[in-house]
Structure 1
Amino acid sequence: MSFYTSLSGLKAAQNDMSTISHNLANVSTNGFKKSRTEFADVIASSLSVSPTQMIGSGVVTKAIRQQFGQGTLNQSGSSLDLAIAGDGFFAVKPNMDGSQVNFTRNGGFLVDADRYVVDAQGAHLQVYPVDGSGSVVATGLDQAVSLRLPQTSGTPQPTQNVALGVNLNSSSAVPSTPFDRFNTDSFNQSTSSTIYDADGNALTMTNYFVRKTAAAGTPPTSTWEVHSYVGDQELQPASGSGPITATFDGTGAMTSPTSATAFAPFTPGASSTQMQLSLDLASSTQLSSPFNVVTRSQDGKAVGQLQGVTVDSEGLVSASFSNGETQAIGKVLLANFSNPSGLRQLGNSSWSSSGISGAPIVGEAGQDGFGSMMSSMVEGSNVDITEELVGLIAAQRNFQANAKALDTSSKISQAIFNIQ
């Protein structure tokens, strides 16, 4: 019997060393949770044996129990690297068309080719859908959706009104050659503005300023011509033809035009939709200071392109766009279990629920029973190297002691066999 008792001790010590070795091997694995081997003694009892005469029959491995203590939090440079400070798991879907949901503490997420936020294995991060204000509109694990980053935001709006306030140098000379936008000697100054067509495409509107007369008359006035181009098309006023004529008095104030000039409709080369622009130069001046643009504005708007993603401490994911818009696109849900130690290990720092763990309890970061969300952080392993090495030494000593007991039992049996 002592052979089997010592053998059970050897197996138990070997299980303990294997568990510790697995912990040490994953000391650098993000989201890894260490395990602890738990043992129970074996007693073969019967009614006929006195309680004071019972001898144990060895040891069994009762459980290899996972320890879900907090791992180290390591800072990163990605806003999609998430860590949970406290209890909870991220919910991820390995198959977007399936119903299986796995759970992980490894929040090192990235964006795939289809703009879904996924973990290293390609499983989709699950979030609650939200409205424009960021309020959750549906709860429950079955109502969760895969987080997908939008590519654009907003509706394009074509430019209709352009306002341009410039200062024209009162000392500028009158060019001696006819206007040619490709000849810099034929105009005094130029400036470009970005406008947008009906599809939200950016176009360049260039205005060329040509002095026609120097200050003359009583009171002294001077005139300038303003040639406006969009791409290679010169814009013509809706009433009349030719460039805009701007007049300034002796103080440098503009006397005409006093209101915006409307141009005739035109079709940009990259669009099939006509545009109609107006140009307001009313705030322009003619002073002795150098040419400069004082004000510039236009009322068009392009479609916003995705520029960045942020996640707040409550798990609200917001996307920012190049047109200045910010859009709430989801709220990261967290899951917890009545018995996390009963979760089934899947590898890759992932788990699935089981009958021992209980059904997942879902909620939001910061609620009762759930930790807070930390962006640009990743939770590392909760393995303590020093503690594991001490445990490994103890497991080794246990193995050696049981091996010695087995050897002693063998020698006793050999001595009995040698009796003559």
Structure 2
Amino acid sequence: MSLYGTMRTGVSGMNAQANRLSTVADNIANANTTGYKKASTQFSSLILPSTGGAYNSGGVTTDVRYSISAQGTFTYTTSATDLAINGKGFFIVEGTDGQEYMTRAGAFTMMDDGSLQNSAGYTLMGYEYSSTEDPTIVVNGFDGLQQINLSSGALNAKGSTAGALDVNLPSNEEVGYEKTTSLVAYDSQGNTRLIEFTYTKTADNAWSVEASYDGTTIAGPIAMTFDSEGQLLTPSPATITTTAQVIDGANLNALSITVGGSSQLASAFDVSNGKIDGNGASKVTGYEISDDGIVSLKYSNGELTPKYRIAMASVQSPDNLKPLPGNVYSQSNESGVVVMGYAGTNGYGSIISGALEDSNVDIAEELTSMIESQRNYTANSKVFQTGSELMEVLVNLKR
């Protein structure tokens, strides 16, 4: 056995325990870091070939692993922009370098420009929301993502396009009887426009309805006929369609008003259902984030309008992602390719608004590891010291 080899083995052991102690120090320092995933040190022996009955001591090498796939507990907060993922997946964030990264650190705060940034300065990314279909995503890349912005709709106005007006027309009135009611619609600039509907009895079980705005006819007269039970027969389909108007530079869209619930019974004229879509100009007063990642803006008129869908990502081997400063990760050769998706679909976890994922560090476990590392470091130093002393004895044999 080589005394030099013994000393080198002792040094190898001390270096390995120093590495372990470094991961312990990082874990303890980040025990309260949102979304932090602990590091651990794995040891592997280095065996040298032995010849002629002499044993050659090798040493030990270390490999640092990260428990990225191990989920932490949750801490609930009062901020709707604090986000946690319950299950598989990562948020996509953009750094100041313009590159996209993955993270579980969801302590996002709305900045003065409306963007959402976490405590490390990374901006949350997603797709523009569509009410008819999920946004098209690039499955294996970050193309098409945009910054989620909560002030993108500081003022909102939506022109009316459809509504409903169900009335009862009194069957016991004389021919020529006339009654008027109205609906408030919104033009493209959010102005209110009063649409009047005039019903006139033309014969038994027969009426006409005309829609007008400011004295100008925009639909009708349209014939409405009823059966002997007072149920609507025509028009079929039971819809009144108005013509579009340009009013003071704003567009009043063509309106499709359903009247299928109208009746003709021996009772007074009555409106049982009158509604129309659209809204006037209103300010953003808040926001909501659903468990499937839909970001909706809340307006002063009470309307909740979906604007974005938070994107999520995953890889085949999350524990092999490359950790970077700021508690973010990037793809590595061992992790596999990035696969995109949405919360609550294809195995991705749900998003919890008003919560943060805690670090998965166990302080008791780390302190135990610290004591073990300290004792093992001391033991390896004794091996080195003993080798050094034997070398001194060998040198002094000549005296």
Residue identity opposite 1:22 in structure 2: D
The equivalent position to 1:138 in structure 2, one of 123, 133, 136, is: 136
2: CA distance, partners of 1:4 / 1:122: 44
The aligned residue for residue 65 of structure 1 is 65
Residue 301 of structure 1 deviates from its aligned partner by: 5.9
Aligned residues: 283
Cα displacement (A) at 1:355: 1.9
Q: Percent identity between the aligned chains?
A: 34
Q: Is the 8 A contact 1:82 1:374 kept in 2?
A: yes
Letter in 1 for 2:30: N
**Aligned ranges 1:368-383 → 2 under 5 Å:** 368-383=346-361
Alpha-carbon distance change, 104 to 301 in structure 1, aligned in 2, over 3 angstroms = closer
Q: Which residue of 1 aligns with 2:376?
A: 398
Secondary structure of 1:126's counterpart equals: strand
By how many angstroms is 1:37 displaced?
0.6
Residue aligning to 1:75: 76
Structure 1 portions without partners, runs of 5+? 158-195, 203-271, 274-298
CA contact (8 A) 1:13 1:398 kept: yes
User: Aligned pair in 2 of structure 1 residues 325, 139: CA closer, same or farther (>3 Å)?
Assistant: same
Map of 1:102 onto structure 2: 101
In the aligned structure 1, how far is the partner of 2:321 from the partner of 2:33?
A: 18
**Cα distance 1:198–1:84, how it changes in 2: closer, same or farther (>3 A)?**
closer
CA distance in structure 1 between the aligned counterparts of 2:54 and 2:86, rounded to whole angstroms: 52
1:38 matches 2:37: no
Provide the rounded CA distance (Å) in 1 between the counterparts of 2:351 and 2:65. 26
> 1:45 offset after TM fit, Å?
3.0
Structure showing the higher strand proportion among its residues: 2
Instruction: Describe the SS at the equivalent of 1:5.
Output: helix
Asked whether 1:22 is paired with 2:23, we answer: no
Runs of at least 4 residues of structure 1 off by over 4 A? 196-202
Counterpart in the other structure of 1:331: 309
Query: How far apart are the structure 2 equivalents of 1:54 and 1:371?
Result: 54
Q: 1:152 to 1:12 in 2, by over 3 A?
A: same
- After superposition, the Cα gap between the structure-2 partners of 1:87 and 1:300, relative to the gap in structure 1 and judged at 3 Å, is closer
Residue identity opposite 1:151 in structure 2: A
Q: Is the 8 A contact 1:76 1:377 kept in 2?
A: yes
Shift of 1:128: 2.5
- Asked whether the 8 Å contact 1:87–1:336 carries over to 2, the reply is yes
Counterpart of 1:154 in structure 2 is 157
Give the partner amino acid of 1:115: G
- Which residue of 5, 13, 23 maps to 1:9? 13
Report the Cα offset of residue 379 of structure 1: 0.8
- In the other structure, the counterpart of 2:288 is 310
Per the normalisation by structure 2, the TM-score is 0.65
User: Which residue is equivalent to 1:344?
Assistant: 322
C-alpha separation in 2, matches of 1:366 and 1:102: 21
Q: Report if aligned partners of 1:128, 1:136 keep a CA contact under 8 Å in 2.
A: no
Residues 389, 352 of structure 1: alpha-carbon distance in 2 compared, 3 angstrom cutoff: same
1:140-180, Cα deviation, whole Å (9 max, x unpaired)? 231222211221222489xxxxxxxxxxxxxxxxxxxxxxx
- The alignment's TM-score, normalised by the length of structure 1, stands at 0.62
> What is the rounded CA distance, in whole Å, between the counterparts of 1:77 and 1:335 in structure 2?
26
Which whole-Å CA distance do the structure 2 matches of 1:151 and 1:122 have between them? 23
Q: 1:25 to 1:152 in 2, by over 3 A?
A: same
Question: Contact (CA 8 Å) 1:304, 1:324: kept in 2 or not?
Answer: no
Which consecutive unaligned segments of at least 5 residues does structure 2 have?
A: 161-185, 193-247, 250-276
Which whole-Å deviations, capped at 9, do the CAs of 1:60-91 have from their partners, x for residues lacking one? 11x21111211121001111110011121100
For 1:138 and 1:197, the matched residues in 2 are separated by: 31
Deviation at 1:137, TM superposition (A): 2.5
One-letter code aligned to 1:414: E
Query: Contact (CA 8 Å) 2:321, 2:331: kept in 1 or not?
Result: yes
Deviations 1:201-234 (A, max 9, x none): 99xxxxxxxxxxxxxxxxxxxxxxxxxxxxxxxx
The structural deviation recorded for 1:131 is 1.3
- TM-fit CA distance, 1:300: 11
8 Å CA contact retained: 2:156, 2:280: no
CA RMSD of aligned residues (A): 2.9
| Cα offset, 1:200, TM superposition | 6.1
C-alpha distance in 1, partners of 2:110/2:302?
22
Which structure has the larger Rg?
Answer: 1
SS in 2 for 1:142: coil
Q: Distance in 1 between matches of 2:143 and 2:187?
A: 43
